[in-house]
Structure 1
Amino acid sequence: MSTQSDVILKQSLRKIEYPLCAKEALGRIVELICGRITSIKHMDLALDLMAEFIFYEVDRRGNKRPQIVTPLQELQLLEIMFEYFNSIPNEAARNSVFLSLFSGTTAMMRSGILSKLISIAVGVSSPVILLSASTWMQQLGCLSANSCKLAEALVHDYFYLIPNAKDRLKTLPDICPQFTANFLTAVAENYYLNSRKDKMFPPKILLEVITMWISENSSLCISAQQKQAALPPGAIAMEVTTPIAGLLRWCILAPLYNQESELYCHLHLALLNSILEIPQTVPAKAIYAQHTIVPISYVMYYVNDLKNQGLNSEQVLNDEKLQLALDRYAQAIQVALSMKAVYGHVDDLLNQLQHLPYNKLLNIVVNTHKRIK
């Protein structure tokens, strides 16, 4: 496409009222990104079309627009994007456009549109859009700020605003298990790590839904690893992070933060059952050792708090909440290591666990696996 034809294309799109011009622009973007012959020039033009005619971020001169789109325009744009993505039959082409629209450099700026689009896809069951969102999360990283922000937006929409979310979301793992698994990985990162007190613990309805999902589908946590994402030619697939370590952290730390809901017991059991059914691979790829180390520092914070309250060493060791947390930790480590589901520096994991206060089960687990090594 010549420079002159680029100018003509933009001029023709400018004659169409926003956001109706977005529909025509999306068609041209697909041609530029997914055509037989692609180039840096084609990609640059596609990015220009996205900024001006889809997201309304710049004017015809490339200057940032001072005004924002109205709620009605945003709703119209979402409808156009929803219908367009559902009309693209080729998964690789759909993912290519999705990844370009919400690239790592623009995703945070466009997070409002993205979260609303995915929220709609969850509500009206669009597996093709959810699958593209799943691929996007993997390529940017399920633990990245972008993925965690998307997860936070979905929690707001479906677990705070909607009272019967459990019924609405029951079938989400059947509609798109890959997206559900990646959502779980991201949402697990949003709790039991955050210093904001109002966001420290997951809402009860979210805990209920997650427990239900994993209890009823023991393979859900590794679903995103079971299917290779369809990517554009030359793209490198990023490693998938499962939600197992993050959700186990919830269960381990819950007693230390006085979160006494029995749901944590049920979730813990569901996660252990899930690990037991993970197919063994060489090398292992289900649980990253470094992620399983995270609870250690939080347990030690709790221990130091007890000591600061004047408790002696024996009283600390006899603390019921501490021992429950360590029991759950030990159970998780034992099952994960026995199933050969942990990858990374397992020796470092075992060494770090030895820094924790004495727990009979944890001591047996660590010593047993050290002997095996």
Structure 2
Amino acid sequence: MNDIRRSLLRRDSLSAAKQVLYHLDILFGGQLQKSATPVVDNETAELVEEFVFSLPKERSAPRQMTSLQELQLLEVMCSYFQEQGKDSLRQAIFSALFSPQGNVADGRRQSMLGKLVSMAIAVCRVPILNCTASWMQKSPTHQCMRLAKVLVEDYCGSVPGPSQALRDIITVKDLVPPSDLLEMVVAWVQDDSQLTLLTFLSAPTPTSRPPGSLDPTPLLGLIRWCVKAPLAYRRHRKSPPWGRSPARDPRAADGHTGPLFSRLHLCVLQILVSVREHLAERHLFGRLGVLPLEGVAKLAGELVRLVDDEADPRDKDSDGAAETELALNRLAQALQ
């Protein structure tokens, strides 16, 4: 391995990174012929960190890529993962490159991953997106959220006043998502509701399982959006005390987003019905909860705080009764 490193040190940064990818291809290709689970040894991991993610080894000078070289490397990765015909090898190399290791290289690893996935979306590189889906199932939540934040910023950044709204999505604040993002999510869920249940539908039926809930799905997050939207939008459109505008029907909130949330809520209810059917088919109905109890309890607490924040004893018209009723109805329907 020292010979490989010395050879890489004689190359420029881009050429060395490409050579490491070639080395991974040969290494894992050989391992997969003998075992279904390839192993990344420490020396190979160090080569990846030093020559792909520019993390200096010991006291050696860092081998930083220029912006152009980094773009070229991303293009090389895109082409490799697209053209690699063996899914097991593609998944193994993707995991070796981007799985968190709990060290200082994780920041650079995450940054490169965000750029690669963003490029893959732009140029429709489906194999990379499939690898990313597998990566997200195995990675810590905060890593997945960081990737989601990058994609939201890249593809929803043109929304008026996006910066605050995007921060609110990532930190799950009371505010609502940008309208472009909301439209996209509604379209996805309407076109293929099973997108929200991929983990559940692809998992084998357990022979025995203690009472609990489904593996993590986006359902609770979508329910949170729908339930909190009426009160959150009301907070946004309220004028200052010296120029308060009259309350409006929450079903027409902002004219555009209100119907979108209604459509999303209907889709979520239909998905919940289909989940019950799937559970019944697998003889799991009554054994597995659809939503985690702690998540539902947290949502209820958030809703109570929103209602309390909206109540203003100085203004009899500020209690948000219509918005509160709509939010509670949506929560009740989701829990039925």
TM-score by length of 2: 0.75
Instruction: Spell out the pairing of 1:1-373 with structure 2 (5 A cutoff).
Output: 6-33=1-28, 35=31, 36=34, 43-58=41-56, 61-63=57-59, 65=61, 68-104=64-100, 105=102, 106-141=105-140, 144-161=141-158, 190=169, 193-194=172-173, 200-227=175-202, 240-258=215-233, 260=253, 261=257, 262-278=259-275, 279-280=278-279, 281=282, 282=284, 283-284=287-288, 286-306=290-310, 309=313, 319-334=321-336
Q: Give the superposition deviation at 1:92.
A: 2.6
Name the amino acid aligned to 2:200. Q
Match of 1:353 in 2: none
Amino acid at match of 2:15: L
* Cα contact 2:51–2:63 (8 A) shared by 1: no
Report the CA distance shift for 1:40/1:147 in structure 2 as closer, same or farther (over 3 A): closer
Matched-pair contact (CA < 8 Å) for 1:242–1:286: no
For the Cα contact (< 8 Å) 1:188–1:247, is it kept in 2? no
Provide the rounded CA distance (Å) in 2 between the counterparts of 1:103 and 1:257: 36
Partner of 1:362: none
Compared CA separation, residues 290 and 152, structure 1 to 2 (3 A): same
Give, in whole Å, the separation in 1 of the partners of 2:58 and 2:150: 30
Coordinate RMSD, CA, aligned: 3.2
Change (3 A) 1:223 1:41: closer
Give a deviation string over 1:162-209, Cα, whole Å, max 9, x none. Answer: 99xxxxxxxxxxxxxxxxxxxxxxx999357238xxxx4211011011
The amino acid of 1:289's aligned partner reads L
Q: Deviations 1:334-372 (Å, cap 9, x if unpaired)?
A: 1xxxxxxxxxxxxxxxxxxxxxxxxxxxxxxxxxxxxxx
Q: For residues 74-127 of structure 1, give each alpha carbon's deviation from its aligned partner in whole angstroms, at most 9, with x where no partner exists.
A: 101101211222233222322222222122224433222111100111111112
- What is the CA–CA distance in structure 2 between the aligned matches of 1:268 and 1:188, rounded to whole Å? 23
- How far does the alpha carbon of each residue in 1:30-49 deviate from its partner, in whole angstroms, 9 at most, with x for none? 44456147999951111111
> Residues of 2 paired with 1:285 and 1:117: CA distance?
36
| Mapped partners of 2:95, 2:88: distance in 1 | 10
Given that residues 13 and 64 in structure 2 are in contact (C-alpha distance below 8 angstroms), is that contact kept between their aligned partners in structure 1? no
Distance 1:96 1:188, change over 3 A: farther
Query: Cα offset for 1:64?
Result: 6.7
State the alpha-carbon separation in 2 of the partners of residues 162 and 40 from structure 1. 43
Contact 1:255 1:324 in 2 (8 A): yes
Check the 8 A contact 1:33/1:46 in 2, yes or no: no
**Separation in structure 2 between the aligned mates of residue 257 and residue 42 of structure 1, nearest angstrom:** 47
- The 1-side partners of 2:25 and 2:264 are apart by 43
Letter in 2 for 1:201: V
| Deviation readout 1:244-292 (Å, 9 max, x if unpaired) | 1101100000111125222111111111112222211425375333222
Work out whether residues 33 and 43 of structure 1, in 8 Å CA contact, stay in contact via their aligned partners in 2: no
Q: Report the CA distance shift for 1:295/1:308 in structure 2 as closer, same or farther (over 3 A).
A: same
Structure 1 residue 226, shift from structure 2 partner: 2.8
* Structure 1 residue runs without a partner (length 5+): 1-5, 164-186, 230-238, 335-373
Compute the displacement of 1:240 (Å): 4.5
Q: Work out whether residues 51 and 57 of structure 1, in 8 Å CA contact, stay in contact via their aligned partners in 2.
A: yes
Flag structure 2 segments of 5+ consecutive residues without an equivalent.
161-165, 205-213, 235-252
**Length-normalised TM-score, structure 1:** 0.68
- In the TM superposition, what whole-angstrom CA distance separates every residue of 1:123-166 from its partner, at most 9, and x where no partner exists? 1111211111001111014xx11111111111111122499xxx
Contact 1:214–1:274 (CA<8 Å) still a contact in 2?
no
Give the 3 Å change call, closer, same or farther, for CA 214–190 of structure 1 in structure 2. same
Contact preservation (8 Å) 1:85, 1:94: yes
The residue aligned with 2:242 is: none
CA separation of 1:150 and 1:192: change in aligned 2, threshold 3 A:
closer
CA distance in 2, matches of 1:42, 1:192: 34
Sort the Cα spacing of 1:25 and 1:66 in 2 relative to 1 into closer, same or farther, 3 A: closer
